[in-house]
């Protein structure tokens, strides 16, 4: 869960970012005061699984947007639910409160499928924790795609 690996990877693939330090943030509500001066779209990241626990998904969406898992699952032809903290640690090497696409660097077998809210494409910057919830990094959406692909993952944009 050390963010150094994320920073090294961003440097390696020539991705610029802005970095913001803050106290630990575990919820969107807690984030409001710390993100007020941070430019860009703030995102929440949901680590999901199918009802049989065989497929895992990372859904990235604007922080205050409501997500209807039942409707999303229906579009995908399956039922979705939140994955456990144990699964989060197993697949992304992360703990609750630090979930973000930067955790894909720990998914060496590319078992997690990535879904990005289509609104992310039009943002100037998108903000995520770099695998710890005491920092926020802002990057361009194109650079987010570059990072995800560098980690060996594909992604899809979804309408929510």
pLDDT digits (tens, 9 = 90+) for 31-54: 776 666 789 999 999 999 999 999
**pLDDT of amino acid 28:** 74
Predicted pLDDT of residue 151: 97
Among the listed residues 142, 141, 137, the one whose alpha carbon sits nearest the alpha carbon of residue 18: 137
Predicted confidence (pLDDT) per residue in 53-67, tens digit: 999 999 999 999 999
Quote the domain boundaries for residue 144. 4-158
- The closest of 66, 74, 146, 71 to 114, measured between CA atoms, is 146
Query: Would you state the pLDDT for residue 24?
Result: 78
The answer on pLDDT for 153 being more than 70 is yes
* Cα–Cα distance measured from residue 100 to residue 146, given in angstroms and rounded to the nearest whole number: 15
Report the CATH number at residue 18: 3.90.960.10
Q: What local confidence, expressed as pLDDT, does residue 36 receive?
A: 67
Q: What's the pLDDT at 29?
A: 75
Q: Is 114 exposed, middle or buried (0-12, 13-18, 19+ CB in 10 A)?
A: buried
Q: What is the pLDDT of residues 89-147, one digit of tens each?
A: 999 999 998 999 999 999 999 999 999 999 999 999 999 999 998 999 999 999 999 99
- Our count of domains for the chain comes to 1
Query: What residues contact residue 13 under an 8 Å CB cut-off, 6+ apart?
Result: 146, 147, 150
pLDDT at 35: 67
DSSP reduced 3-state for 59: strand
* 1 three-class SS: coil
């Amino acid at each position: 869960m050390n963010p150094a690996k994320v920073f090294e990877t961003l440097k390696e693939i020539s991705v610029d970012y802005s970095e913001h330090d803050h106290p630990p943030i575990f919820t969107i509500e807690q984030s409001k005061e710390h993100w007020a001066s941070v430019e860009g779209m703030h995102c929440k990241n949901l680590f999901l699984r199918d009802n049989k626990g065989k497929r895992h998904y990372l859904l990235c969406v604007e922080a205050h947007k409501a997500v209807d898992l039942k409707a999303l699952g229906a579009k995908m032809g399956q039922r979705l639910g939140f994955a456990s903290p144990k699964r989060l640690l197993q697949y992304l090497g992360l703990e609750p409160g630090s979930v973000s696409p930067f955790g894909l660097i720990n998914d060496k077998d590319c078992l997690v499928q990535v879904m990005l809210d289509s609104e992310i494409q039009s943002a100037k910057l998108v903000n995520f924790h770099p695998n710890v919830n005491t920092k926020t990094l802002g990057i361009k959406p194109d650079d987010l795609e570059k990072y995800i692909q560098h980690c060996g993952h594909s992604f899809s944009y979804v309408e929510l």
